[in-house]
A = this chain, B = another copy of it.
Amino acid sequence: MLKHDPVLPPEFIYPIDDWRWVERRPSSEFTAQSETTFSTANGYLGMRGGFQEGRPAFLHGTFVNGFYETWPIPYGEKAYGFAKTGQTMVNVPDGKIIRLYVDDEPFTVDRATMDNYERALDFKKGTYERELIWETPGGKRVKLRTVRLVSLTDRHVAALRFEVTVLNAKAPVVIVSEMVDHSAEHASAHHEHAGVSPPKMTEEEDPRLAKSFKHRVLVPDHAEMHDKRALMGFSTRSSGMTLGCGMDHLVEYDGEVVVSTIPPDGVAQVAFRYTAEPGKTFTLTKYLTYHTSGTERASELRARSGRTLDRVMAHGFDALLADQCRFMDDFWSRADIQIDGPAHPRVQQCLRWNLFQLLQATGRVENAGVPAKGLTGQAYEGHYFWDMEVYVMPFLIYSSPEVARNLLKFRHGMLGKARERARELNQKGALFPWRTISGDEASAYYAAGTAQYHINAAIAYALKKYVEVTGDKEFLCEYGAEILVETARLWYDLGFFSDRQGGKFCIHSVTGPDEYTAVVNNNAYTNLMARENLWYAAQAVEMLRKDFPQDYVALAHATKLEPGEAADWQRAADLMFVPFDERTGINPQDDDFLDREVWDIKNTPKDKFPLLLHYHPLVIYRYQVIKQADIVLAMFMLGNEFTREQKKRNFDYYDPLTTGDSSLSACIQSIVAAEIGYDDVAIKYLRFAVLMDLADVGGNVRDGVHIASIGGTWMAIVYGLAGMRDYDGVISFDPKKFVDKLKFPLTIRGQKLIVDIDHGNVTYTLAQGAGLAIMHRDEELKLTEGKGVTKQV
């Protein structure tokens, strides 16, 4: 099912530019969204794209990945094993603020008269830039130019360059640079300022938004101010994490500048006062740094912040910018997709924005995960979900395998807590948290949280793909196998061989990816993915035993692996029950799915979507109605376990039941539609995926980007349009005839493949590497470096 077509903001405001996301007119209509869409981040540090003047603003947001506050999860009625501790990514002190006063008049975009306004997120340079000419109420014309970057080469650093030129007169100018703690604030407080109409339902009722803290989260440790530098230390009130941050400034101006400071107490200020001469540019460069820790003292991090500022100031802004461009060039060489059509006239621009967001969410993620909103907002509390493994990991595996490895290693680091959680849930093995930052389960509604055991299989699946595509068996031996053993154990303990199902292995009381049914028996997706997990675990253990006997011994020691366990997993997998309905020929989503009433989507008023905000869960669970791909997702991820006919029957059945209330839906529907020859449907869904955020399909982009959908968009291109499949590490392509031009690189086992579809032909070129075998449909192609092989689409 497809709701109204997504509509981008108008071109006279947001013009086409293949390498930038550009705003040509300030528009209060898009203030909140643009804070998200203009975000800058590096996977460790993120800043929403708000105005440096501090207003208008929806939510001042600066985030450090993995830096969270905890709080006791409240329950009206508690039960045994409910998750106890909530975690919320903290809004760290906002360092982007630079206020400007000319003739004592403050500049803000919502009140100023302006010419030549433009702001842009530049995908090539990795910067956010703004230019404009402000005509003050007194007739002074003031040229402003800002460049903002969150460094990809130096992940603790952000920098802003701010240039002011009064063009036509002398004028007194004051520039106030701030670093200010917003940690207790919440988006809703800003609605008025942002010119945003209040949401239809109270925000408290929207389960997707972050907790609003009633108190200041960051407890100041000690702060110091020397010259134009402020250094601050904080600890969180409850989680006990520490933060050091600081700002420093370089002024370039040929004339007298008076500097004054306000010592930091929640707000650190450095003010610059000078008398502007016509045409003479005042340049302020502001450096910011953030360091966080779960163990070190705030004072140490504060000192470290000082050292970082010393270093980066010596390096200089131009050098930072040059580093950033080099990093971006390298990224695009591995990740750029050139496309012409088919989903939308602006597909190239929008797609690059998507890819850039993927980079921003993951580029320098180290010992942390990928939050559902990247580092662009606090919705979903900044938690890591299965999105990371299922929606983001494929892109990373094929473009930045070292980042993929980091994420899997991060999951491995959670194993201890996942084992504890399995014990709390009265199970063996390990159960990864449905949502978390710290590794502790933080889902407060288990039916759409803890019950999603399938996250275990998602991690195993991503691990398998990583190992197969990169060839990194060392990782499998050192980290992966332990994950496989513990996840397989969980499945084996969770399910049972059912007499009533002829001895088949059944898994009960779980929730699949589709949260519009919950706590069901034999969710097909879960069973299929659990099977894959069990198989792969058995296979990996056997492989280690044979090929890496020393690693096997270490694994057996670490996991107390018993002889026969792998055989048990193999047997459970072989006997896995997969729901199938003889009458309709489809795979029911779960044991009871077909017994439910069909929801009448066509006659449900549009303003009742997403259903979860307008119907009690009990009502939704009672119907055949789908929030997101579930069987369809399984048919993509485990496509080699379904015939084409089966895929068609299932898609025909489920697609009309799918509301797409989840942003994770469109990309997957697109891929499977493309595979089964539903070209128009594939294109339509692709349009939804590509435009999800920029057209604000869900109406909530102001709360952050949808990283899963963005990762899914990459998949919809590569797996959908180019028809790539990588079952068991065999890379094959089946490009779709309706694709005119599409070109993209893939990193496979350390080699670089270029796929270039051009009006009926597809050329596979091994741009770098010793040799690679791939499949074009059923035909094997053995590629050698530098030589392209062209085939008919």
Contact = CB atoms under 8 A, between A and B. Distances in A.
A618 B75 contact: no
Contacts of A621: 508-509, 519
A424 B81 CA distance: 29
A78 interface: yes
B618 A509 contact: yes
A625 to B, nearest CB: 12
Given A77-B207, A508-B597, A521 B618 contact: no
B81 A595 contact: no
Interface string A616-639: 111101100000000000000000
A506 B622 CA distance: 11
Nearest to A448: B77
A86 interface: yes
Query: Which 10 residue pairs of A and B lie closest in terms of their CB atoms, listed nearest first?
Result: A76-B444, A74-B74, A81-B616, A73-B76, A77-B445, A509-B622, A77-B444, A508-B622, A77-B207, A426-B619
Interface stretch (A89-97, A183-191, A607-615): A607-615
A561 to B, nearest CB: 25
A417 to B, nearest CB: 16
Contact of A446 (B424, B500, B617): B617
B425 A619 contact: yes
A558 interface: no
Contacts of A427: 619
A314 interface: no
A613 B615 CA distance: 31
Interface string A434-449: 0000000001111111
Interface string A419-438: 00000111100000000000
Contact of A445 (B76, B614, B615): B76
Nearest to A202: B78
A452 B595 CA distance: 20
Interface of A: 73-83, 86, 204-205, 207, 424-427, 443-451, 496, 498, 500-501, 506, 508-509, 518-519, 521, 591-592, 594-597, 612-619, 621-622
Contact of A618 (B205, B451, B496): B451
A546 B621 CA distance: 41
A618 B500 contact: no
A449 B617 CA distance: 13
A612 B449 contact: no
Nearest to A207: B77
A446 B445 CA distance: 11
A444 B521 contact: no
Contact of A79 (B445, B450, B596, B597): B445
A76 B77 contact: no
19 contacts: A74-B75, A76-B83, A78-B205, A79-B207, A79-B616, A80-B612, A80-B615, A80-B616, A81-B617, A81-B618, A81-B619, A424-B616, A446-B618, A450-B616, A508-B622, A519-B621, A521-B592, A521-B595, A591-B595
A613 B80 contact: yes
Contacts of A446: 616-618
A425 B612 CA distance: 12
A205 B78 CA distance: 6
A586 to B, nearest CB: 13
B594 A592 contact: no
A205 B83 CA distance: 12
Q: Helix, strand, loop or mixed for chain A's interface? A: loop
Contacts of A81: 615-619
A509 B78 CA distance: 21
Interface centre among A78, A86, A204 (most CB of B within 10 A): A78
A84 to B, nearest CB: 9
Given A79-B612, A426-B616, A519-B618, 5 more contacts: A80-B614, A424-B616, A450-B618, A508-B595, A508-B621
A293 to B, nearest CB: 27
A614 B79 CA distance: 9
A419 to B, nearest CB: 16
B614 A78 contact: no
Contacts of A204: 78
A353 B751 CA distance: 84
A502 to B, nearest CB: 12
A432 to B, nearest CB: 15
Contact of A617 (B79, B86, B205, B506): B79
A612 to B, nearest CB: 7
B444 A595 contact: no
A595 B522 CA distance: 10
A78 B207 contact: yes
A716 to B, nearest CB: 29
A649 to B, nearest CB: 18
B595 A498 contact: yes
Nearest to A494: B622
A70 B483 CA distance: 47
Given A592-B591, A595-B500, A618-B509, A75 B78 contact: no
A614 B506 CA distance: 24
A450 B617 CA distance: 11
A100 B207 CA distance: 56
A618 B621 CA distance: 16
A280 B86 CA distance: 66
A426 B615 contact: yes
Contacts of A622: 508-509
A519 B424 CA distance: 22
A613 B426 CA distance: 12
A376 to B, nearest CB: 21
Contacts of A80: 205, 612-617
A527 to B, nearest CB: 14
A618 B425 contact: yes
A499 to B, nearest CB: 10
B79 A86 contact: no
A86 B612 CA distance: 23
A214 B250 CA distance: 52
A519 B521 contact: no
A86 B617 CA distance: 20
Contacts of A451: 618
Given A425-B618, A508-B597, A77 B449 contact: yes
Contacts of A207: 77-79
Given A592-B521, A622-B508, A622-B509, A597 B496 contact: yes
Contact of A75 (B75, B424, B449, B498): B75
Nearest to A522: B595
A448 B612 CA distance: 20
Contacts of A496: 597
Nearest to A508: B622
A657 to B, nearest CB: 16
